[in-house]
């Protein structure tokens, strides 16, 4: 079996979840907290072109849209993109668009951006190094990469670990990967926390970091 087929068989089917994705209040709250943290930590300006990698239904994209010139969401789930595009039409926005991209099956990022953001997607991507290298390639000099994802969670965050290739991230390890891809001046803050049941009637707090690196 080839590596590609292996990855695809382990992927989570986000298409099936798309229609109800925005109906989970805890999920929407986390996306809002992440967006607020990005708005605080990044200097967003009306001349910026932004890419949201793994945009899903656009919870983060739509929150950042008023602060920048354009924002492009990319995702490998057609179902998520359908919901995203319906929202663009409903809100009659012309500085926001959504494109299909599956990096695991030969897709490559295109265009040039002042900023790439991504929320809760990195742990669904098996090979992080090549992804960060692609990000670096399409970011303008002096542009930034801003990733929001789970701190190491011992595999407890997701009830179903299908399509979860990383049990969260160790911040120092990820910072070293940013550095290897060419990013510098990494900063990390906590963006959000979520309390979730983990079995036996117990619950646990999970934290989400924001890591920002600059392309020099």
Ligand X SMILES: C[S@@+](CC[C@H](N)C(=O)[O-])C[C@H]1O[C@@H](n2cnc3c(N)ncnc32)[C@H](O)[C@@H]1O
Residue 119 binds ligand X (CB under 6 A): yes
Minimal distance, residue 210 CB to ligand X, in Å: 13
Q: Which of 77, 116, 169, 177 binds ligand X (CB under 6 A)?
A: 77
DSSP 8-state code for residue 152: P
**Integer Cα distance of 88 and 95 in angstroms:** 9
Residue 120 binds to ligand X (criterion: CB under 6 A):
yes
31 binds ligand X (CB under 6 A): yes
User: Coil, helix or strand for 211?
Assistant: strand
Min dist CB 201 to ligand X, Å, is 26
Closest residue to ligand X in the complex (CB)? 56
The C-alpha atoms of residue 77 and residue 214 are separated, in whole angstroms, by 28
Site for ligand X in 45-74 (CB under 6 A): 54-56, 59-60
- Classify residue 80 by burial, with Cβ atoms within 10 Å: 0-12, 13-18, 19+: buried
* 168 near ligand X, rule: CB under 6 A: no
Report d(CA 124, CA 122) in Å as an integer. Answer: 5
Nearest alpha carbon to residue 128 among 103, 156, 92 = 103
Q: Partners of 171 in the beta sheet?
A: none
For ligand X, the closer of residues 141 and 144 by Cβ is: 144
Cβ-based nearer residue to ligand X, 13 or 216: 13
Residues that bind ligand X (CB under 6 A): 14, 31, 54-56, 59-60, 75-77, 80, 101-104, 119-121, 124-125
């Amino acid at each position: 079996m080839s590596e590609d087929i292996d990855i695809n068989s382990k992927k989570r089917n986000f298409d099936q979840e798309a229609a109800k994705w925005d109906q989970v209040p805890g999920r929407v709250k986390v996306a809002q907290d992440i967006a607020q943290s990005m708005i605080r930590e990044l200097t967003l300006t009306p001349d910026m072109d932004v890419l949201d990698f793994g945009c899903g239904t656009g919870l983060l994209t739509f929150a950042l849209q008023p602060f920048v010139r354009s924002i492009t969401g990319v995702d490998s789930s057609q179902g998520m993109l359908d919901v995203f595009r319906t929202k663009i039409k409903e809100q009659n926005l012309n500085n926001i668009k959504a494109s299909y991209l599956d990096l695991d099956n030969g897709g490559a990022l295109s265009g040039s951006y002042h900023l790439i953001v991504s929320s809760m997607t990195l742990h669904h991507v098996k090979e992080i190094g090549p992804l960060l290298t692609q990000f670096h390639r399409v970011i303008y000099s002096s542009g930034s990469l801003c990733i929001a994802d789970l701190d190491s969670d011992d595999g407890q965050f997701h009830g179903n670990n299908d399509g979860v290739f990383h049990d969260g991230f160790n911040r120092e390890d990820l910072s070293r990967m940013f550095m290897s891809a060419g990013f510098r001046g990494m900063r990390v803050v906590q963006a959000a926390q979520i309390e979730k049941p983990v079995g036996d009637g117990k619950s646990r707090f999970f934290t989400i970091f924001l890591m920002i690196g600059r392309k020099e």
